[in-house]
């Protein structure tokens, strides 16, 4: 049994060896786990970030990175918080079971994006008329729910879901990340885009400040040494904060997609197994192309998966690519309905 009656979604289905290995860790305050960025699996990514900054000629800007509760820069502070679970292999396994563990490519994408925020704050670019002219007012209200304009060429594409359209600060951070990414070929890729002016601004700004120390060095937000919640409490809090889709009537649609007789005994397997194996790619792609918050897409896909399992639907093993295409399209349509109408399904 799990300690303290753990019922966190995902953990109860984790391999028993992993459960046993994490029993003691779950009940410990995070600050007592002895987590350090130095010497952890994360260190090489921070080193890579600094090398990329050096190659771009802005080596005087090496933002401090520290372990925190999530990815981010405290507002106005040129420092980078990195999720604590990435610093420990066992916690990485737990995160992989509970949510979606970032791979090496995604870690660097996040680091470059957050470095963009930090660079903006370090040199207080957002206070200048040129920055405001290109990106908009920095003090514009920050909205978690925003309706992007899909395929707008006024913005670069880096993070999933048209993220640059969320706020002028995010627009700059995304522009910085594309400019910084090795072999992004941004001049050619964005040749006929309105976003090209923003990338050229970034190039000019980097040259202007290449020999200038940052105006601000920044203070951290919550650090891993200050996190007194236990690992168990952290994940329960995260689960409670995630948006939950309304109750969905999916049965008819899912039966139509996985139209295989339950009497069939060969060449089939549980459709839930197929979906579980492809859960992360499904979430990634639907979130990327729709712009709907990733946590909501994650819960949508998990709701579909749960109902597929409850209905005991089967998948023909020769048609697996077709099923994944249909589920992707099905979830995308519901996500776009949510984006425009505020609900996945209209009644």
What angle is formed at CA 36 by the lines to CA 33 and CA 41, rounded to 5 degrees? 110
Residue 220 belongs to some domain of the structure: no
Question: Do residues 286 and 331 both lie within one domain?
Answer: yes
What is the domain range of residue 128? 3-208
Query: Which residues is 315 bridged to in the sheet?
Result: 269
* 144, 86: one domain: yes
In the predicted model, is pLDDT for residue 17 greater than 60? no
Element (H, E) at 68: strand 64-68
**125 in a structural domain:** yes
Residues 204 and 257 in one domain: no
In total, how many domains does the chain have? 2
Q: Name which residue leads in pLDDT, 20 or 268.
A: 268
- Whether residue 330 is contained in a domain is answered as yes
Convert the pLDDT of each residue in 248-303 to its tens digit: 788 999 999 999 988 888 999 999 999 999 999 999 999 989 888 888 898 899 89
Is 115 among the domain residues? Answer: yes
Using CA atoms, how far apart are residues 19 and 12, in angstroms rounded to an integer?
8
Same domain as 104, residue 14: yes
Tens of pLDDT along 89-108? Answer: 989 988 887 777 899 999 99
Tokens (6 digits) for 113: 């994006």
pTM, full prediction: 0.84
Q: Which residues contact 247 (CB under 8 A, 6 or more apart)?
A: none
End-to-end Cα spacing for the chain: 41
Residue 190 and residue 251 in one domain: no
Residues 6 or more apart in contact with residue 36 via CB below 8 angstroms: 67, 87
In a shared domain, residues 51 and 187:
yes
Domain boundary among 180, 208, 236: 208
Name the residue among 283, 265, 125, 142 with its Cα closest to residue 206. Answer: 125
């Amino acid at each position: 049994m799990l300690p303290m009656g753990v019922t966190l979604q995902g953990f109860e289905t984790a391999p028993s060896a992993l459960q046993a290995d994490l029993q003691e860790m779950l009940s410990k305050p995070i600050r007592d786990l002895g987590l350090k960025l130095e010497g952890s699996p994360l260190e090489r990514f921070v080193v890579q970030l600094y090398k990329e900054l050096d190659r771009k000629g802005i080596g005087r800007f090496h933002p401090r990175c520290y372990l925190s509760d999530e990815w981010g820069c405290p507002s106005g502070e040129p420092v980078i918080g990195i999720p604590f679970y990435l610093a420990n292999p066992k916690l990485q396994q737990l995160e992989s079971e509970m949510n979606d563990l970032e791979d090496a490519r995604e870690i660097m994408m996040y680091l470059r994006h957050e470095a963009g925020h930090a660079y903006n704050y370090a040199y207080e670019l957002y206070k200048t008329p040129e920055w405001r002219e290109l990106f908009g007012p920095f003090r514009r209200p920050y909205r978690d729910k925003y309706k992007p304009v899909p395929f707008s060429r006024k913005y670069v594409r880096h993070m999933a879901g048209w993220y640059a359209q969320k706020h002028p600060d995010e627009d700059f951070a995304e522009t910085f990340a594309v400019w910084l990414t090795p072999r992004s070929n941004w001049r050619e890729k964005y040749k006929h885009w309105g976003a090209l002016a923003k990338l050229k601004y970034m190039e000019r700004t980097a040259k202007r400040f290449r020999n200038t120390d940052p105006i601000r060095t920044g203070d951290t937000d919550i650090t891993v040494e200050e996190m007194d919640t236990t690992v168990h409490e952290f994940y329960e809090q995260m689960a409670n904060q995630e948006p939950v889709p309304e109750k969905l009537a999916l049965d008819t649609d899912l039966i139509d997609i996985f139209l295989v007789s339950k009497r069939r005994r060969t060449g089939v397997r549980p459709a839930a197994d197929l979906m579980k194996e492809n859960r992360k790619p499904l979430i990634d792609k639907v979130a990327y192309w729709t712009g709907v918050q990733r946590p909501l897409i994650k819960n949508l896909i998990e709701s579909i998966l749960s109902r597929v399992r409850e209905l005991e639907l089967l998948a023909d093993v020769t048609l697996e690519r077709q099923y994944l295409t249909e589920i992707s399209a099905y979830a995308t349509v519901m996500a776009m309905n949510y984006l425009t109408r505020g609900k996945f399904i209209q009644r």
